[in-house]
Structure formats: C-alpha cells, structure tokens
C-alpha cells in the first residue's frame, strides 16, 4: 500500500501533538506519504520556510504565541507560492473568510479532516498551473528581451508574409524603421542578384521541411547591397497550419570584406598590389596554351633593380618601399594591354608579353621598359635614379616548361647584371658559372675557413613595455680587405651552389655559442631567432643537425627560434608539416617569416605547429598613410591571434607605425626605430644597460646614452 502513496513534503505549524497525529493519519488515508516537519515556536517558522521547498503548509489558526495569519505573512514576505491551509478546531466563518482574504488558500476544520487530502490535491494542481503560467510569462519576457537585444535582425510575418514586427537590429542593419516596414513584405529587401528560381527553392524547402537557411544578398534602404546569412522558419498553430514566419539574419559585410582582403593578400603583393608569384604563374598558363595553338611566342622578362640594397641601407626601407611602388606603377603604364606585370618580392619584377611573332618585338618591349628608368624617381623630395637589369626567356623556343622558363629568365638577368643597366636574352650557351660568379663562389667556399662570416643581431621588442625580448641573427660576409657584403648579394649563390647547408649550420652553431655567452653574462637572457633558407629546410638531415648543435653548445631548445619563409613551407606542405612537427616537438619556437610576400595557404597555416607570424616590412611602411595597408595589418594580427600566434612586425621606422601597431595589439616589433643590426658584443652591452636600472636605457634609435 505504501508504494502507492504520493510523496508529500509538508510543514505543520501546530501546538498539539495529538492534532499532528490526526493530520498525518488523514494525509495517509487520503493517499499521501507525508515527509513532514512539526514546529510550534514562531521563531522557527521563517528558518523552516527558507531552508526547504515545501509542497504545502498546514497551520493552526489559534496558537499560544501567535495566530495563523502571522505565519502566512512570513510566507508572503519570502515570496513563496506554497499552498497555505488553515487547519483549526475553533474558527468562525468570518475569521476563516478574512484569513483567505489575507492569502490563505483554504481552511479545514479539525473535526472534518477527511476534506484535507482532496483540498491539498486541488491546491497542488492549482499551484502547478500558477507555476506553469509564471514560467510561461518569464519565457515570454525572456523571448521579448532576446528579440530586442539580439544582434541578428529578426522579422516576424503572418501567414501571408506581411511583416508584423521587427527588432532594433533589423532597423540598424537595413536602415528601415519599424513603422516603415509594418504591413509590407520582406521582398522589399531583395537585391535583384537572385533569380526567381532561387526564391522558389527557398519556399520549397520551407514548405517541405519548415525551415531554410543560406546566404542571401539584400539591399539596404540607402540602396547598398550587402550579404546576410538568413534563416527562415515556419510557425504552425495547433491545427498544423502555418500561422507565422520568423526570419533571422546576420550581416556578413565585415566578414566578407575581411575574407576578400585576406584572399587578395594571398594573390597580390602587399606593397605594390601587383600579382604575386602564384597569381602571375596562374595568369601565364593561358598565353602559353594560346601560343602553342597559334604558333606564337610568349616572352617572360625578369627585372631586377641594380644595387637596390644600398638604397635600403642608406635611405631606409621606407624610401625603398616607396620606390618599389613607383617602379610598379611605371611598369604597368609602359606595357601593352595584353601584357601583365608581377612582383616576386624584393626588387624582382616579372613581365609577361603574350602573342608575339618575332623576338625583335621583345627587344623593343625591353628597351621601352629600360626607358622607363631614364627619368628620375622622386621620394620625399629626393631625386633618385634607378638602373634595371632585365633577363628574357622565350616560350616555347627556350623551353615549354614554365618553371624552367622562369629559371632561364633568372639566369639571363644575372648576366645582364654583370654588364649593368641592360637586358639579355637567354641562350643555351650562357655560362652560368662565369668568371666573376666563379670567383665569388670560390671566395665563399673559403670564407668559412678564413672566418670571414659574421653574425649581427637586430633586437625584437615587446611593444607593450618596450623591453627587448629576443633578437634575430643576421649573416654578414666581410672578405679580407673588402667592404662588408650583405646577404642579398651572396645568399642566392650559396643556395644555388649548395654551400648554404654548411654555412647555415655555421650560423646556427655560432648563434648558439654566442647565446650561451650571453646567458652567462646578462641577468635575464633572451631567445635568439635564426633564419632557415629554403634549401636548409628541405635538407634531409636538418633535424639531426639542429639536435647535434644544441647538444654541443648546451643550449636548451626553447631559447631557439627558427624562421622559415612562406615559400619554404608551401613548396611541399606535407613534408614541411612533418619537419615542423619534429622541430616543435623538440621545444623549438617556429616562425613564418615575411608573411604575405609568397603564397601561403591559410588552411595550411592552421595545420602547422607555429608560434610566430612575422608581418613583412612592406605592410608596415605606409601604416600612417595607406588605409589599405592598415586594414591588411589589422586583419593579419586578428587572424594570427585567432590561431594563437604571436605577431612580429618588421621594419618599424617611425612613431606613427609604432602607435598603430600598439593600438592594434601587435605583440613584438623590430626595425631601425629601435635598433640597427649590431654585433653580439654590442647586443650584450645593450641588454646589460637595459636590465641594470643604474645605467641609462638605450634610446629608441638603438644608440647608447
């Protein structure tokens, strides 16, 4: 029998133990299994009410120290909706009516306790109904709040799709007020970009599934067309008929704009907005096919600016970048409509000339490009003369393979550079290992034994507090009795000859030994960043070599950061991923250098175990003047942070660039604003000065006070 009884949590306020027993018997006889608390002291009532959730409160009316309505007020003060029933042996009808006016739900005479269980049943049902209504009202209030505060635009229509209500976000996104759209249909927002079949498909899905979502182009009140992510749901009544439609949409304008900027970044050079290496290659395919089909020629011109590195070193990279932009504009203005120009990075440009009949046409084109440089360039009031060298390879005479054609044009430009300020056609008889080239190669082969290589370091600074937190190792070559040779002049030859493997190992070992000396000298040492060339990164014994150097020098791997170019990681992404995972597993920090100058895939960036993304200096140079550069840098920083990458900005040269980067939460910076590259001894001295409060801090330009 007890198994059929309903559990009932009951608070009994009664001064008679006998009456309590009678109440409990009546509850059991009425089908309840009471879990009860009996109290008679008025001071115990409030704690009992607050301590536990009761199904019902049964209270005598006349008690020695108080009357039942006083207990009722305590219940009301606590804002509890619990059935409160007076159970009394001597209460007049008027008193009972007054008690119920005060909030009691019912009264039971003790001589008629058979009524108790049915009354409780009724009150529990009514309490459940009241609770359901209260919850429904709360849901309605919550729904109304969500409706008004949602960042999504929301529109509610009747079954005939006439607008009944819209929220504030709808008005802000579309530009229409609520008063303007009530009674109209949502098709007032149509952009005319979609045909009728598109909308028929939407309604077919809604009728079949009761729901549709997808991307739609709408039109604002001011006429602007914008993309939204739209969802439409059908609401049915109790008869299963559609009574309303609810539409919600999110404005995708900002997201689309960011995606377009990133997509543009992956195909166009950030500094000049010319096609980068990837896009140039893609565009070159069609002229090659046309040339084979119609027995025509395509010329590939590779243009380098002679001694451009000296402009960067003497006038600064911001001047150099402005020159590169002007060169790009002049090249575009000088070519035919059928031709196109690309920038491959640094001072390298490529020009494609399709649909040619004879090579003499190419000579005229090359000479017209040379003439572009006859007039001086002007940057910040400076008159600067530039001299180009052009290498030319012809498709399909020289080769029918694009990569080989590019290589031949590069070979030809090296020959043109040796003569200076001219152009050269590639021909099979060209001796890539010419006398001067062979002389430099032989000198490079002896440079390690003669200890002619030097390492300089450029500090990397925490943009939040101005402290040096790292340094990039940079290779210099100082042959005996000659001027310093900069990397741009000899690194390509090291790559071509394979010497970069042995020289790269020397760089890593020297940097680690100098790092160990630094750690033994300064109070708080910093990590050192070392560049890996593409050939080094592809070398099969790279990981073993790095492990050996770290063990030999006694440097913990987490003090070493390796910088890999975009080209290195994207030539063979799967191989790159495996190598990076090995290096990352050793504890080495990994950075992608010169982001944006190559053709990195964002999907691969997410896969690679990277720590740092380095923004190329070409992005930074015009931050104070170019809104597009600013938007791109902002997007790169945001994207990197979403991928949990630190961001280093290269080429910081003025306060305006620094202010922008700090305001957009760039993590780290390096450039002439802080310091030029310096020998390891000066770096050590600089760190000692910075970390010793008694010594004056390094000035922003890197000079010691």
Protein fold of 2-144: Rossmann fold (3.40.50)
Q: How far is CA 47 from the centre of its chain?
A: 54
Contact 69, 43 (CB under 8 A): no
Mean of pLDDT values over 370-397: 92
- Highest-scoring range by mean pLDDT, 112-126, 277-291, 414-428: 277-291
**pLDDT attached to residue 705:** 31
Residue 138 confidence class, pLDDT cut points 50, 70, 90:
low
Please give the Cα distance from 284 to 325 (Å, whole number).
22
Determine the angle formed by the axes of helices 627-642 and 253-267, rounding to 10 degrees: 100
Please give the Cα distance from 29 to 27 (Å, whole number).
5
pLDDT tens digits, 514-537: 999 999 999 899 999 999 988 899
Residue 482 confidence class, pLDDT cut points 50, 70, 90:
confident
Can you name the residues that pair with 43 across neighbouring β-strands?
none
Say if residue 605's pLDDT is above 80: no
Please give the Cα distance from 153 to 610 (Å, whole number).
38
Protein fold of 258-432: Alpha-Beta Plaits (3.30.70)
Q: Across all residues in the chain, what is the average pLDDT?
A: 86
SS3 677: coil
Mean of pLDDT values over 400-404: 93
**pLDDT attached to residue 588:** 95
Q: How far is CA 185 from the centre of its chain?
A: 38
Percent of the chain with pLDDT strictly greater than 90: 42
Ordered by start, the domain boundaries in the chain are 2-144, 150-251, 258-432, 437-691
Say if residue 627's pLDDT is above 90: no
Does the domain at 437-691 match CATH 3.20.19.10? Answer given as: no
**pLDDT attached to residue 290:** 92
pTM over 0.75: no
If one looks up domain 150-251 in CATH, what number appears?
3.30.450.20
Task: Give me 572's structure tokens.
Answer: 């063979």
Say if residue 695's pLDDT is above 70: no
Residue 603 confidence class, pLDDT cut points 50, 70, 90:
low
Say if residue 700's pLDDT is above 50: no
Please give the Cα distance from 34 to 58 (Å, whole number).
12
């Amino acid at each position: 029998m007890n198994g059929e009884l309903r559990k009932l949590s009951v608070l009994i306020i009664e001064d008679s133990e006998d009456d309590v027993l009678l109440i409990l018997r009546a509850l059991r006889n009425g089908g309840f299994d009471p879990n009860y608390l009996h109290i008679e002291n008025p001071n115990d009532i409030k704690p009992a009410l607050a301590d536990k959730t009761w199904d019902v409160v049964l209270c005598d009316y006349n008690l020695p120290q108080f009357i039942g309505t006083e207990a009722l007020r305590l219940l009301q003060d606590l804002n509890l909706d619990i059935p409160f029933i007076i159970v009394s042996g001597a209460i007049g009808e008027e008193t009972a009516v007054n008690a119920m006016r005060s909030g009691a739900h019912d009264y039971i005479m003790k001589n008629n306790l058979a009524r108790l269980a049915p009354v409780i049943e009724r009150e529990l049902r009514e309490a459940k109904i009241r609770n359901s209504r209260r919850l429904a009202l709360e849901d309605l209030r919550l729904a109304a709040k969500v409706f008004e505060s949602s960042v999504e635009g929301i529109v509610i229509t009747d079954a005939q799709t006439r607008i009944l209500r819209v929220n504030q976000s709808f008005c802000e996104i579309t530009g229409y007020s609520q008063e303007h759209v009530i009674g109209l249909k949502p098709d007032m927002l149509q952009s005319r970009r979609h045909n009728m079949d598109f909308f028929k498909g939407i309604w077919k899905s809604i009728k079949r599934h009761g729901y549709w979502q997808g991307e739609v182009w709408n039109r604002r009140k001011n006429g602007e067309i914008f993309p939204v992510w739209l969802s439409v749901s059908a609401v049915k009544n109790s008869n299963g008929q559609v009574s309303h439609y609810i539409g919600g949409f999110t404005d995708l304008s900002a997201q689309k704009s960011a995606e377009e900027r990133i997509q543009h970044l992956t195909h166009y050079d950030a500094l000049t907005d010319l096609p980068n290496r990837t896009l140039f290659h893609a565009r070159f395919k069609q002229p090659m096919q046309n040339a084979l089909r119609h027995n025509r020629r395509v010329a590939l011109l590779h243009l380098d600016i002679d001694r451009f590195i000296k402009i960067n070193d003497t006038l600064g990279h911001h001047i150099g970048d402005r020159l590169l932009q002007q060169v790009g504009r002049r090249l575009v203005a000088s070519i035919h409509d059928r031709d196109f120009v690309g920038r491959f990075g640094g001072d390298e440009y490529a020009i494609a000339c399709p649909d040619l009949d004879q090579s003499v046409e190419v000579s005229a084109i090359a000479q017209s490009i040379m003439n572009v440089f006859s007039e001086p360039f002007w940057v910040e009031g400076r008159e600067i003369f530039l001299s180009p060298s052009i290498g030319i390879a012809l498709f399909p005479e020289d080769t029918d393979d694009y990569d080989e054609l590019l290589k031949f044009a590069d070979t030809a430009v090296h020959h043109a550079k040796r003569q200076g300020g001219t152009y050269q056609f590639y021909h099979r008889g060209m001796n890539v290992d010419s006398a001067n080239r062979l002389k430099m190669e032989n000198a490079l082969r002896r440079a390690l034994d003669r200890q002619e290589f030097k390492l300089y370091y450029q500090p990397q600074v925490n943009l939040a507090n101005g402290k040096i937190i790292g340094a990039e190792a940079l290779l210099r070559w100082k042959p005996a009795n000659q001027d310093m040779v900069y990397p741009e002049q000899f690194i390509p030859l090291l790559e071509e000859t394979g010497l970069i493997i042995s020289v790269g190992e020397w760089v890593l070992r020297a940097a680690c030994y100098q790092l160990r000396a630094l750690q033994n000298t300064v109070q708080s040492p910093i990590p050192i960043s070392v560049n890996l060339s593409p050939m080094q990164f592809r070398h099969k014994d790279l990981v073993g070599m790095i492990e050996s150097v770290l063990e030999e020098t006694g440097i913990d791997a987490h003090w070493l950061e390796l910088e890999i170019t975009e080209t290195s990681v994207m030539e063979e992404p799967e191989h790159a991923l495996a190598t990076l995972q090995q290096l990352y597993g050793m504890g080495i920090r990994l950075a992608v250098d010169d982001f944006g100058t190559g053709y990195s895939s964002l999907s691969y960036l997410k896969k690679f175990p990277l720590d740092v993304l380095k923004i190329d200096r070409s992005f930074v140079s015009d931050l104070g003047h170019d809104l597009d550069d600013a938007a791109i840098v902002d997007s790169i920083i945001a994207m990197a942070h979403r991928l949990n990458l630190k961001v280093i900005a290269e080429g910081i040269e003025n306060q305006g660039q620094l202010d922008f980067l700090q305001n957009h939460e760039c993590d780290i910076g390096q450039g002439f604003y802080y310091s030029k590259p310096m020998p390891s001894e000066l770096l050590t001295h600089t760190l000692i000065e910075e970390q010793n409060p008694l010594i004056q801090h390094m000035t922003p330009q890197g000079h010691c006070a």
